[in-house]
Amino acid sequence: MIDTNNKGAKLSTVAEPAAGYNDLKFYFSNLNTMFSIRNTLAIDMMTAMPTGSLKRRINDISSITKRIYAETTTPTVTNLLEKVEKDAAKNPDKWNAWDQENLIEMRRIHSHLSALPPDLYIASVQVANEGRKMHVAAMKKNSWEDAQPYIEKVVDLYRKIAKHKQKKFNTPTPYRALLMGYASDISDRQMDDLYDGLLEPLKKLYTEALEKQKSEEKGIPLDGDFSKADQMWLNRTVLEIMGFDFNRGGLYVSNLSPMTGGNPEDVRILVRCGDSNNFLDSLDDTLYQGARGLYYQNLPDDWITQPVGQDQGAIMLNSLSLLYGTIIGRTPQFFDFISVRAEGVFRQFKNKSFEPENLYQLKKVINATTVRNDADELSKIFHDILRYRIERDLINGDLEVKDIPARWNKESKELLGVEPKSLKEGALQNPDWFTGRFGFIPTNTLSHIIAAQLHETLYDNIKDLPSQIQKGNLSVVGNWIKDNIHSQGRSKGTFETIKDITGHELNSDALMKHLERRYLSSKR
């Protein structure tokens, strides 16, 4: 494990292990600044920007993207990177662990950018930024004929991108090349094996949980006045007990998907919140996105401008979000803490629907729904298998966009036991195929597995964890994660980090134990 307090890890070091390395650090520090500007423009687009400004904002983001691409792939940087790498290979004793990993990350960024011609890279960023609004428009129209041309454009773009990256990284399939961008340590074949191994045990657990649920009392639907202002006050309180620094970030309402963005000194957390919603949905978003905000705020200061000082990417971000939002945030102990605060905020004293046990029951209901956002955590795995199979075949050329709805309905019937009644409940609901996040979907399951492994390890490392959660002392969880994950930046890979922390390779044992305990056991 790399010591983050190692004096040799200071970015301000004058002496360099190889001539030209400090120049590389300057280049990549400048790159980090441009990423930060682009992220801030994108997050602003999701909240404060007038809808009529979309075209200009996309143009602004594209201009910065061109600079990012040009300055990273310029011959000066390319040649300098090769020169420093050769020197590092000849004189490894001159390099400390953080600088070595920083050089590796520089190469990774350069490789992924240089794998694409500039027009494809810029097009991918445009799609990522305009896709969310296109998805909202498609959902309103509820028409595949209207959405199909845009999705075909995105799929065609990413098939081209996948082929370029397949050639660059010598992957067995085009989809594997895209999966590398989110989960570099696993292949689509391994994902197939993982899902195949999980499917039957999950179906058995799902059937047993549904049967057990029939004999249990149903939770009382939440009843009360849930104004947006009151919900956001409660959300802010939860972020504060998680340890979020409001001097370096903020909480905002999104009319689109919840998300977190910005930069470590200006973290923007966006959650869904409406006057007609019950507060549990908005609270879920806050826990989920808050975990990401904490990650950004607690990255290693000494390396904050360098590649090695960034977060570990989609899998780890998602894992921590699921740990807070889906596992810890749905325990009886957490509801013991939150119910009293909710009663006060919404002025619902003696309201039985606000009692801790009722809140717990409401959040552990198994519901056979065709809509992933409405699904319980167990059913969501089936939703992810469905989406993974479809997008894998799409990118690999084994499925065409026009055939997605029929394929979706077939997979839904097979995996979930229900078919969508409309396109909004079916193929149109997935925003990733509008934004080009091909390869992201399977990270949901990988992250769920890691979150369960981390939860087991937290029990082993934090004395009396349930009572700490019951008191609302989430800082003990946050401090442990900060020491073991946040502060490590990208000095190690995700799967290596998990093995070091938990003592185990990635496996689904902890996830199955967690799901069995929550849905089949009377244990708390």
Where residue 262 falls (left for φ over 0; alpha for ψ -120 to 50; beta otherwise) is: left
pLDDT at 3: 47
The residue type at 344: G
Q: CA torsion 238→241→242→245, rounded to 10°?
A: 100
pLDDT at 398: 97
Q: Which one of 1-10, 317-326, 342-351 scores highest in mean pLDDT?
A: 317-326
Locus of tokens 């990284």: 169
Tell me the CB-side half-sphere exposure of residue 378, using CA atoms within 13 A: 27
Instruction: With a cut of 50, say whether residue 251 has pLDDT above it.
Output: yes
Residue 432 lies in a domain: no
Kindly state the average pLDDT of the residues 208-220.
89
Structural domain includes residue 233 = no
Least confident stretch, 232-246, 279-293, 356-370, 389-403: 356-370
Please tell me which residue, 348 or 83, carries the higher pLDDT value.
83
What integer pLDDT is reported at residue 133 of this predicted model? 83
Residue 110 lies in a domain: yes
What pLDDT, in 10s, does the model give residues 465-508? 999 999 999 999 999 999 999 999 999 989 999 999 999 988 89
Per residue in 413-472, pLDDT tens?
999 999 999 999 999 999 999 999 999 999 999 999 999 999 999 999 998 999 999 999
| Whether residue 374 has pLDDT greater than 80 | yes
Residue 234 falls inside a structural domain? no
pTM of the model: 0.90
Nearest C-alpha neighbor of 101 from the set 224, 186, 17, 189: 17
* DSSP assignment string, 329-343: GGSHHHHHHHHHHHH
Per-residue burial over 466-483, b if 16 or more Cβ lie within 10 Å, else e, is bebbbebebebbbebbbe
Q: What is the pLDDT of residue 14?
A: 53
Q: Which two tokens stand for residue 10?
A: 């200071």
What average pLDDT does range 371-398 have in this prediction? 94
Amino acid 5: pLDDT: 45
CA nearest neighbour of 164 among 125, 122, 120, 110: 120
How many domains does the structure of the chain reveal?
Answer: 1
Tell me the C-alpha distance between 392 and 411, whole Å.
14
Q: How far apart are CA 178 and CA 3, in angstroms?
A: 32
Output the six-digit token pair for 255: 């009319």
Domain extent, residue 103, equals 7-174
Q: What mean pLDDT comes out for the span 106-118?
A: 92
Report if residue 29 sits inside a domain: yes
Q: For residue 6, what pLDDT band results from cuts at 50, 70 and 90?
A: very low
Residue 166 placed within a domain: yes
Higher pLDDT, 184 or 32: 32
42 within domain boundaries: yes
Quote the CA–CA distance of 517 and 509 in Å, as a whole number: 12
Q: For the segment 63-105, what is each residue's pLDDT rounded down to a tens digit?
A: 898 899 899 999 999 999 999 999 999 999 999 999 999 999 9
Is residue 96 one of the residues assigned to a domain?
yes
**Calpha distance 195→190 (Å, rounded):** 9
- pLDDT (0 to 100) of residue 66: 87
Share of the chain above pLDDT 90, in %: 72
- Exposed, middle or buried, 99 (CB in 10 Å: 0-12/13-18/19+)? buried
State how far the Cα of 279 lies from the Cα of 257, in Å rounded to an integer: 17
Query: Mean pLDDT throughout 348-370?
Result: 90
CA angle 7–34–49, rounded 5-degree value? 130
| Pick from 427, 432, 429, 409: nearest CA to 419 | 409
Contact 427, 169 (CB under 8 A): no
Residue 367 CB: number of other CB atoms within 10 A? Answer: 13
SS3 196: helix
Model confidence at 262, in pLDDT bands (50, 70, 90)? confident
- Predicted pLDDT at 183: 86
Could you give the CA distance from residue 516 to residue 206 in angstroms, rounded to a whole number?
Answer: 10
Q: Are strands 266-271 and 259-263 parallel, antiparallel or unpaired?
A: antiparallel
**Of the ranges 12-16, 48-52, 118-122, the best mean pLDDT one:** 118-122
Confidence of residue 40 (pLDDT cuts 50, 70, 90): confident
Distance CA 396, CA 399 (A): 8
Mean pLDDT score, 235-257: 92
Per-residue pLDDT, 65: 87
Q: Are 411 and 468 in contact (CB under 8 A)?
A: no
CA gap 216, 204 in Å, rounded: 19
Q: What's the alpha-carbon Rg for the chain, to the nearest Å?
A: 23
Question: Mean pLDDT, to the nearest integer, of 261-285?
Answer: 87
- Strand, coil or helix: what is 17? coil
Residue 487, both tokens? 């502060």
What is the predicted pLDDT for the residue at 274?
78
Q: Give 40's contacts (C-beta < 8 A, 6+ positions apart).
A: 261, 262, 263, 266, 268
Give the integer Cα–Cα distance in Å for 205 and 512.
Answer: 9
**Degrees (nearest 5) of the Cα angle 276, 412, 376?**
45
Q: In the numeric block, which tokens belong to residue 208? A: 């047993």
C-beta separation of 443 from 314 below 8 A: yes
Q: What pLDDT does residue 50 have?
A: 79
Q: Is the pLDDT of residue 223 over 90?
A: no
The stretches of 48-187 forming alpha helices (DSSP H) are 54-73, 75-90, 97-114, 118-141, 144-169, 174-179
Residues found in the chain: 524
Alpha-carbon distances of 523 from 50, 331, 421, 516, 518, rounded to whole Å:
50, 11, 37, 10, 8
